[in-house]
């Protein structure tokens, strides 16, 4: 029955429907109605508390921070007295125009595609829950796992900038400094990760 | 039941919305700040957009970036121009006012300017200068957002300093040309303006150098490279590189002139440094001919000294005359009085000589002279073709050839022309040439019986090992040959009217060399070696004479060398003098290094003779001839033959030295074996024959290394040597026995000697000290087994200074042993001195009631240990 995909008004078997509740702390199985974990003593919640609201909060914050992250310069290259800031997209275009497709692609994926994709997925998951699109729940779960896996690469651009800043410090000749975008990019990435963390994927299967 | 969710509290749901609100605020602020700083835009119109790049080319004020180009497009009205949109940072908005000047800074390398080199790497940038320095004043000016860019950087009017004008005839200096003082750039040309009179330069002098500009300051152009060629040489002088390219102005700062305060003063810019010294008025010379005289490059001389320059040459067809306009130096202007006589000196090219070299270099020149000191200066003269006829002392010179001398040749004394050759003719006999010369009256006193005349060639030279020798005559003697006068003693009043004329300076010098009261000597030698004619005679490193000639005496088959010692050094030769050959090298090697003894380089190659005179005041008659020794050592001493025998094998070999108190006094010349005993034949310098006393002791010293000392490290290199301790007796010997090792230092010294008899030697030995109250008063000089073999007998030497301490009841004990007291408080180690542990030593004590003085060779007992009572003795012994 779980393998069948695309049938409207799908009904999933859930912990609630089975009358069970899982301790979020130690994963001990309890009967519905238990308030305290018998094993670890933690409070028992059926779902992550206020999961949807918190996810919304963090995802919106991440989205807001992504705007200055892309508008402002990521790093400022000072070479021979004149400083030049470049935003993420400018950097990507720079590499592509210099036929450095590999590097350009990596930066584009890590700094633009992945954060946007992650945010889109979180929005999509939230919509699945809100619109009770239960037949999309399985797809949603897959996407949720994917963003979990790629989440650990989202700071790649920050690492690139950090490396450049520490390596290119030739006083007078060329120095690189972090731009204002670096901080908001960091914030965007962190808020995205927290948003993902706060989301309880089981909500998508609830009737 | 199914739908029942566990909901604890709704509160966190609202709290969580704080996060996006804060995020919105922060991100919004960041964006606002970023775009707020973008400032505003101004449009600048450039003649060319070359080098300008959108989003890259910065606007730089005082070295900091305050904006950048954000747009470039072709000007709507004039398609040859370019409009650049500049986005200024907000904080720099104040700069965009009416009167603000923008210009493009790009690398510029041209003949007149090198600038903006920094932009080669950083790229072109736009410079800006606001109309005022004052911020309040600046704020009051109306805003402006459209500008026309200037083509060049404006004059930095805010730069403090001194500004004034320089007037000149031509404008070969460009804006930016440096103003230099002693090769330091003190200012620059800010502007060039054409005026009715000529060209007016605006000069800016940096504030710190403003004090250099005085009322009497002179300015002249420097062209960077100045080349002046004449027969006297070529002089190339170069100023700074900038002035080579752009030209420049140099200035003088006379100390006794007042500094000017403000730039209301106008100065004249002279063409060159010489021009600053020229008098202002012109002198006109008229002549029927032009003589190839060039403007500005033909000079005027007064008595051979540069005195002016020809400024202008003009030909007047009507009169068929040429007028030369001269300018004389201020110092010479007063000489051009009504009695002045100007004439032209032209190179004469004859069949026998090429004299056009000078003409090629600079052409003819004008010279003048005056006999009076009249102050009646005039400006118009006639240019004569020949020098004025001279009156004065007539002399006759004789020579055996004419040397191509012609009438008019100068007679010079110390490069000053004092007379001239009036005629020359061959004598009746036909083998001599007579020259008649006239010496000007004022120089008559220079000629007397000590005078000599020689022919002054243009350049006469000789290159030898002594160096290069050049005798260069004056400029005019280069054109014509000249006759030089030399007078040894000007105060001599004895007149003479006929002289011989030497063919060259060298011929003259050779002639006078032997006329200085020196002396000739003859030296005989087995062979000539590298000695040649003219080889130097060196005395104490000073060149005192030379070899005049040499010849082989066929009878004796010895070489006789005739030498001449100059008058100053004649006295250094007397009967005791010994001459030696200085040629070649002498190598001395010892621990202190390798020493190469040579004469001068010249004497190595061309041979040389030196000499020593040991007895300065020898009154003995000089010998007819001197012997030539092979080297300085041979010359300086003679030797006594002494032989030594030794049964020991040692490092001595032929060449080993014999030393006395560190001085080498002789050498081993032969080593042989006589009846199985080594025999060394040596030579000892005569002056040290005292060391051969009957009781002298000779021993072999060699490198020795043991626990307490390193002896004779030098012997590692030089090998073993013989040392001597001089005896006191009068009689001398010529054969000695060599000892194996050094005797005690005290041998042959005066002092008290006593004999100690001990049970055994223990660690004592020759040299072991004898102490009295821990003061060393003597040492062991020798020891031997007693005749009955029951003990050891040691001979002590007591220093005469302390001999009064040794009494007949003195007690001697061996101080080598250490005492050790072990008590509750530790261990106490007692010994006489630290060195006695190693060397051993003897301590003497005297009982409280000292007896009479010990006699020479008095015998004492040596105790092995001290009795404690002895240490308590405190006798009073007073030195008499």
Residue B274: CB atoms within 10 Å: 16
In a domain, B95, yes or no: yes
Asked which of B613, B630, B647 is the last residue of a domain, the reply is: B630
Select the residue of B5, B24, B34 nearest A46 (Cβ to Cβ): B5
As a whole number, mean pLDDT of residues A57-68 equals 90
Q: Are residues B586 and B649 in the same domain?
A: no
As a whole number, mean pLDDT of residues B615-640 equals 69
Q: In what order do the strands lie in the sheet with B58-61?
A: B101-105, B125-129, B58-61, B64-74, B82-88, B40-46, B146-148
Q: Name the percent of chain B lying above pLDDT 90.
A: 0
Q: Are residues A61 and A73 in the same domain?
A: yes
Interface membership of A84 toward B (CB under 8 Å): yes
Q: Are residues B398 and B375 in the same domain?
A: no
Q: Tell me: the pLDDT tens digits for B505-553?
A: 777 777 777 777 788 888 888 877 777 777 788 887 788 888 888 888 8
Q: Which of A23, A47, A61, A186 is the best mutation test for B, with the most CBs of B within 10 A?
A: A61
Q: Are residues A84 and A3 in the same domain?
A: no
Angle at B599 between CA B594 and CA B604, to 5 degrees: 100
Q: Which of A77, A82, A198 is the best mutation test for B, with the most CBs of B within 10 A?
A: A82
User: In this structure, what are the phi and psi dihedrals at residue A80, rounded to the nearest 5 degrees?
Assistant: 50, 45
B825 or B744, higher pLDDT: B744
Here the tokens at position B505 are: 């300076």
B63 or B232, higher pLDDT: B63
Interface membership of A173 toward B (CB under 8 Å): no
Overall domain count for chain A: 2
Helical packing angle, A114-130 and A137-150, nearest 10°: 150
Q: Tell me: the pLDDT tens digits for A191-200?
A: 998 898 889 8
As a whole number, mean pLDDT of residues B189-214 equals 80
Select the residue of A16, A50, A62 nearest B16 (Cβ to Cβ): A50
DSSP string, B818-866: PEEEEETTEEEEE-S-HHHHHH--EEEE--SS--SBPPTT-EEEEESS-
Are B450 and B489 within 8 A, CB to CB? yes
Taking contacts as CB-CB distances below 8 angstroms, the residues of chain B near A46 are 5-6
| Closest chain B residue to the Cα of A60, Cα to Cα | B20
Q: Are residues B166 and B263 in the same domain?
A: yes
Q: In what order do the strands lie in the sheet with A82-86?
A: A82-86, A75-79, A174-178, A169-170
Q: Are residues A95 and A195 in the same domain?
A: yes
DSSP string, B175-223: TT-EEEETTEEEEEEEEEEE-SSSEEEEEEEEGGGGGG-BTT--EEEE-
Q: Residue A123 has what pLDDT?
A: 94
Q: Residue B827 has what pLDDT?
A: 47
Is the per-residue pLDDT at A121 higher than 90? yes
Q: Distance between CA atoms of A82 and A99, rounded to whole angstroms?
A: 25
As a whole number, mean pLDDT of residues B746-758 equals 81
- The CA distance from A102 to the nearest CA of chain B, in Å, is 26
Q: Are residues A59 and A155 in the same domain?
A: yes
Q: Tell me: the pLDDT tens digits for B756-767?
A: 888 877 777 777
In a domain, B113, yes or no: yes
Q: Are residues B178 and B118 in the same domain?
A: no
Asked which of B433, B467, B499 is the last residue of a domain, the reply is: B499
- Least confident range from B93-97, B366-370, B433-437, B510-514: namely B510-514
Q: Are residues A157 and A177 in the same domain?
A: yes
Helical packing angle, A180-198 and A114-130, nearest 10°: 30
Q: Are residues A69 and A134 in the same domain?
A: yes
As a whole number, mean pLDDT of residues A111-124 equals 90
Interface touch B31/A67, C-beta < 8 Å: yes
Q: Residue A162 has what pLDDT?
A: 84
Q: Tell me: the pLDDT tens digits for B602-619?
A: 666 667 788 877 666 555
As a whole number, mean pLDDT of residues B25-30 equals 85
Q: Distance between CA atoms of B838 and B743, rounded to whole angstroms?
A: 20
User: In this structure, what are the phi and psi dihedrals at residue B641, rounded to the nearest 5 degrees?
Assistant: -85, 130
- The CA distance from B144 to the nearest CA of chain A, in Å, is 26
Q: Residue B801 has what pLDDT?
A: 85
Confidence of residue B824 (pLDDT cuts 50, 70, 90): very low
In a domain, B26, yes or no: no
Q: Are residues B481 and B579 in the same domain?
A: no
- The CA distance from B53 to the nearest CA of chain A, in Å, is 13
In a domain, B744, yes or no: no
Confidence of residue B573 (pLDDT cuts 50, 70, 90): confident
Q: Are residues A32 and A87 in the same domain?
A: no
Q: Are residues B466 and B556 in the same domain?
A: no
Q: Tell me: the pLDDT tens digits for A84-106?
A: 778 888 888 888 888 888 888 88
Interfacial B residues in 90-149 facing A (CB < 8 Å):
121-123, 125
In a domain, B581, yes or no: yes
Q: Are residues A188 and A91 in the same domain?
A: yes
DSSP string, B686-751: GGGGGGGBTT-EEEEE--EEETTEEE-TTHHHH--EEEEE----S-B-SEEEEESSPPPTTTT--S
Q: Are residues A13 and A94 in the same domain?
A: no
A16 or B243, higher pLDDT: A16
Taking contacts as CB-CB distances below 8 angstroms, the residues of chain A near B2 are 16-17, 207
Tell me which residue range forms the domain holding A17.
1-46
Interface touch A71/B34, C-beta < 8 Å: yes
Q: Distance between CA atoms of B525 and B534, rounded to whole angstroms?
A: 17
Interface touch B22/A61, C-beta < 8 Å: yes
Label residue B767 left, alpha or beta by phi (over 0 means left) and psi (-120 to 50 means alpha): left
Name the H helices within B99-142.
119-122, 135-140
In a domain, B333, yes or no: yes
Q: Are residues A107 and A24 in the same domain?
A: no
CA-based torsion, B51, B57, B59, B62: positive or negative = negative
- The CA distance from A107 to the nearest CA of chain B, in Å, is 23
Q: Tell me: the pLDDT tens digits for B691-712?
A: 888 878 888 887 777 665 667 7
Q: Residue B355 has what pLDDT?
A: 43
Q: Residue B853 has what pLDDT?
A: 84
Q: Distance between CA atoms of A99 and A93, rounded to whole angstroms?
A: 10
Q: Residue B500 has what pLDDT?
A: 81
Within its chain, how far is the Cα of B242 from the centroid?
31
Let me know how long chain B is. 880
Q: Are residues A121 and A42 in the same domain?
A: no
DSSP classification of residue A89:
H
Here the tokens at position A13 are: 């078997």
A147-179 burial: b if 16+ Cβ within 10 Å, else e: beebbeebbbbbebbeebbeebeeeeeeebbbb
ipTM field = 0.73
Q: Residue B822 has what pLDDT?
A: 46
Q: Name the percent of chain B lying above pLDDT 70.
A: 77
Taking contacts as CB-CB distances below 8 angstroms, the residues of chain A near B28 are 64
Residues 6+ apart with CB under 8 A from B171: B192, B194, B199, B201
Within its chain, how far is the Cα of B636 from the centroid?
36
Q: Residue B638 has what pLDDT?
A: 66
Mean pLDDT of chain B: 76
Q: Are residues A194 and A154 in the same domain?
A: yes
DSSP string, B470-519: EEE--HHHHHS-EEEEEES-TT------EEEEESSHHHHHHHHHTTSS-E
Q: Are residues B214 and B294 in the same domain?
A: no
Are B101 and B154 within 8 A, CB to CB? yes
Residue with token string 């404006």 = B154
Q: Are residues B626 and B642 in the same domain?
A: no
CA distances from B803 to B150, B752, B856 (A): 108, 6, 10
DSSP classification of residue A95:
H
Q: Are residues B707 and B734 in the same domain?
A: yes
Tell me which residue range forms the domain holding B859.
752-872
Interface touch B31/A68, C-beta < 8 Å: yes
A35-73 burial: b if 16+ Cβ within 10 Å, else e: eebeeeeeebbbbbbbbbbbbbbbbbbbbbbbbbbbbbb
Q: Tell me: the pLDDT tens digits for B589-602?
A: 555 556 666 655 66
Q: Are residues B300 and B272 in the same domain?
A: no
Q: Residue A143 has what pLDDT?
A: 92
Q: Residue A142 has what pLDDT?
A: 92
Here the tokens at position A8 are: 């409207």
Interface membership of B25 toward A (CB under 8 Å): no
Overall domain count for chain B: 7
Q: Tell me: the pLDDT tens digits for B319-357?
A: 888 888 888 887 787 787 877 888 777 765 444 444 444
Q: Tell me: the pLDDT tens digits for B286-312?
A: 888 777 777 777 778 887 777 888 888
Q: Are residues B96 and B180 in the same domain?
A: no
Confidence of residue B155 (pLDDT cuts 50, 70, 90): low
In a domain, B4, yes or no: no
Mean pLDDT of chain A: 82
Asked which of B254, B276, B298 is the last residue of a domain, the reply is: B276
Confidence of residue B187 (pLDDT cuts 50, 70, 90): confident
In a domain, B16, yes or no: no
Q: Which of A50, A90, A132, A182 is the best mutation test for B, with the most CBs of B within 10 A?
A: A50
User: In this structure, what are the phi and psi dihedrals at residue B93, rounded to the nearest 5 degrees?
Assistant: -60, -30
Asked which of A11, A26, A46 is the last residue of a domain, the reply is: A46
Are B782 and B759 within 8 A, CB to CB? no
Q: Are residues B378 and B287 in the same domain?
A: yes
Q: Tell me: the pLDDT tens digits for B68-126?
A: 888 888 888 888 888 888 888 777 777 778 878 888 887 766 555 556 666 666 678 88
Name the H helices within chain A.
15-18, 51-71, 88-97, 101-108, 114-130, 137-150, 156-167, 180-198
Q: Distance between CA atoms of B619 and B717, rounded to whole angstroms?
A: 45
Is the per-residue pLDDT at A68 higher than 90? no
Residue B873: CB atoms within 10 Å: 14
């Amino acid at each position: 029955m779980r393998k069948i995909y695309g049938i409207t008004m799908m009904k999933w078997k859930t912990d609630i429907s089975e009358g069970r509740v899982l301790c979020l702390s130690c994963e001990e199985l309890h009967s519905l109605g238990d308030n305290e974990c018998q094993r670890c003593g933690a409070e028992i919640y059926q779902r992550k508390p206020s999961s949807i609201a918190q996810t919304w909060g963090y995802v919106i914050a991440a989205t807001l921070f992504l705007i200055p992250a892309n508008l402002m310069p990521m790093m400022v290259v000072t070479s021979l007295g004149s400083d030049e800031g470049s935003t993420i997209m400018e950097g990507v275009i720079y590499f592509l125009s210099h036929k450095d497709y590999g590097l350009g692609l990596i930066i584009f994926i890590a700094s633009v595609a992945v954060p946007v994709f992650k945010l889109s997925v979180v929005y999509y998951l939230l919509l699945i829950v809100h619109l009770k699109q239960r037949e999309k729940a399985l797809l949603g779960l897959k996407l949720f796992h994917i963003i979990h896996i790629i989440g650990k690469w989202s700071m790649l651009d920050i690492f690139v900038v950090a490396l450049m800043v520490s390596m290119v410090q030739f006083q007078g000749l060329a120095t690189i400094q972090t731009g204002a975008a670096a901080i908001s990019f960091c914030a965007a990435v962190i808020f995205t990760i927290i948003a993902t963390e706060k989301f309880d994927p089981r909500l998508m299967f609830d009737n | 039941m199914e739908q029942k969710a566990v909901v604890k509290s709704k509160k966190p749901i609202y709290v969580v919305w704080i996060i996006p609100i804060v995020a919105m605020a922060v991100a919004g602020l960041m964006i606002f700040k970023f775009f707020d700083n973008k400032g505003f835009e101004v449009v600048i119109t450039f003649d060319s957009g070359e080098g300008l790049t959108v989003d890259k080319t910065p606007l730089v004020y005082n070295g900091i970036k305050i904006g950048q180009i954000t747009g470039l497009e072709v000007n709507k009205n004039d398609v040859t121009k370019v409009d650049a949109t500049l986005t200024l940072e907000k904080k720099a908005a104040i700069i965009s006012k009416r009167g603000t000047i923008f210009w493009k800074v790009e690398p510029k390398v041209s003949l007149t300017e090198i600038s903006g080199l920094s932009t080669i790497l950083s790229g072109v940038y736009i410079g800006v200068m606001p109309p005022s320095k004052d911020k309040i004043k600046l704020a009051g000016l109306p805003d402006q957002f459209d500008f026309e860019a200037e083509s060049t950087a404006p004059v930095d009017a805010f730069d403090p300093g001194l500004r004034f004008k320089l007037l000149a005839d031509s404008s070969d200096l460009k804006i930016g040309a440096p103003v230099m003082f002693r090769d330091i750039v003190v200012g620059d040309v800010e502007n060039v303006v054409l005026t009715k009179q000529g060209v007016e330069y605006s000069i800016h002098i940096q504030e710190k150098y403003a004090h250099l500009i005085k009322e009497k300051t002179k300015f002249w152009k420097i062209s960077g490279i100045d080349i002046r060629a004449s027969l006297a040489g070529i002089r190339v002088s170069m100023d700074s590189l900038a002035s080579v390219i752009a030209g420049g102005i140099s200035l003088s700062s006379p100390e006794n002139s007042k500094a000017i305060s403000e730039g209301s003063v106008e100065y004249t810019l002279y063409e060159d440094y010489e021009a600053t010294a020229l008098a202002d008025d012109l002198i006109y010379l008229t002549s029927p001919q032009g003589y190839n005289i060039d403007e500005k490059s033909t000079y005027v001389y007064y008595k051979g000294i540069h005195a002016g320059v020809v400024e202008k040459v003009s030909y007047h067809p009507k009169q068929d005359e040429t007028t030369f306009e001269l300018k004389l130096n201020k110092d010479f202007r007063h000489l051009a009085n009504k009695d002045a006589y100007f004439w032209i000196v032209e190179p004469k090219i004859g069949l026998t000589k090429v004299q056009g070299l000078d003409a090629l270099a600079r052409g003819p020149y004008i010279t003048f002279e005056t006999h009076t000191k009249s102050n009646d200066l005039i400006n118009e003269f006639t240019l004569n073709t020949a020098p004025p006829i001279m009156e004065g002392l007539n002399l006759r010179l004789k020579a055996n050839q004419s040397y191509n001398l012609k009438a008019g040749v100068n007679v010079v004394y110390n490069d000053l022309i004092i007379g001239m050759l009036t005629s020359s003719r061959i004598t009746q006999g036909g083998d001599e040439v007579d020259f008649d010369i006239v010496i000007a009256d004022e120089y008559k006193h220079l000629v007397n019986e000590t005078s000599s005349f020689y022919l002054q060639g243009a350049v006469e030279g000789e290159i030898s090992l002594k160096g290069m020798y050049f005798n260069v005559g004056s400029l005019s003697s280069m054109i014509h040959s000249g006759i030089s006068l030399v007078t040894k003693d000007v105060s001599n009043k004895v007149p003479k009217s006929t002289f011989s004329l030497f063919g060259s300076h060298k011929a003259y010098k050779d002639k006078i060399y032997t006329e200085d009261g020196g002396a000739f000597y003859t030296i005989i030698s087995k062979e000539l070696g590298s000695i040649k004619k003219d080889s130097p005679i060196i005395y104490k490193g000073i060149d005192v004479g030379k070899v005049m000639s040499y010849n082989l005496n066929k009878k004796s088959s010895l070489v006789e060398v005739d030498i001449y010692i100059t008058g100053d050094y004649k006295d250094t030769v007397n009967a005791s003098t010994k001459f030696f050959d200085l040629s070649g090298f002498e190598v001395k090697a010892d621990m202190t290094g390798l020493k190469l003894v040579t004469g001068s380089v010249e004497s190595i190659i061309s041979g040389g003779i030196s000499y020593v005179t040991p007895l300065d005041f020898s009154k003995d008659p000089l010998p007819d001839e001197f012997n030539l020794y092979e080297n300085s050592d041979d010359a300086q001493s003679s030797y006594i033959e002494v032989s030594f025998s030794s049964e020991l094998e040692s490092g001595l070999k032929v060449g080993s030295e014999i030393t006395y108190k560190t001085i080498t006094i002789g050498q081993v010349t032969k080593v042989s074996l006589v009846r199985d005993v080594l025999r060394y034949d040596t030579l000892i310098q005569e002056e040290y024959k005292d060391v051969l006393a009957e009781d002298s002791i000779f021993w072999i010293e060699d490198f020795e290394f043991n626990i307490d000392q390193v002896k004779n490290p030098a012997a590692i290199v030089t090998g073993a040597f013989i040392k001597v301790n001089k005896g006191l007796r009068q009689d001398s010997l010529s054969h000695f026995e060599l000892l194996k090792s050094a005797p005690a230092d005290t041998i042959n010294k005066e002092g008290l000697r006593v004999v100690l008899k001990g049970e055994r030697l223990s660690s004592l030995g020759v040299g072991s000290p004898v102490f009295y109250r821990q003061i060393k008063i003597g040492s062991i000089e020798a020891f031997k087994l007693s005749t009955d073999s029951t003990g050891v007998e040691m001979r002590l030497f007591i220093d005469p200074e302390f001999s009064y301490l040794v009494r007949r009841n003195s007690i001697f004990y061996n101080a080598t042993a250490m005492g050790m007291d072990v008590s509750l408080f530790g261990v106490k180690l007692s010994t006489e001195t630290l060195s006695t542990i190693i060397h051993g030593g003897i301590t003497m004590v005297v009982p409280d009631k000292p007896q009479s003085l010990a006699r020479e060779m008095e015998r004492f007992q040596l105790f092995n240990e001290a009795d404690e009572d002895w240490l308590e003795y405190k006798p009073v012994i007073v030195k008499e």
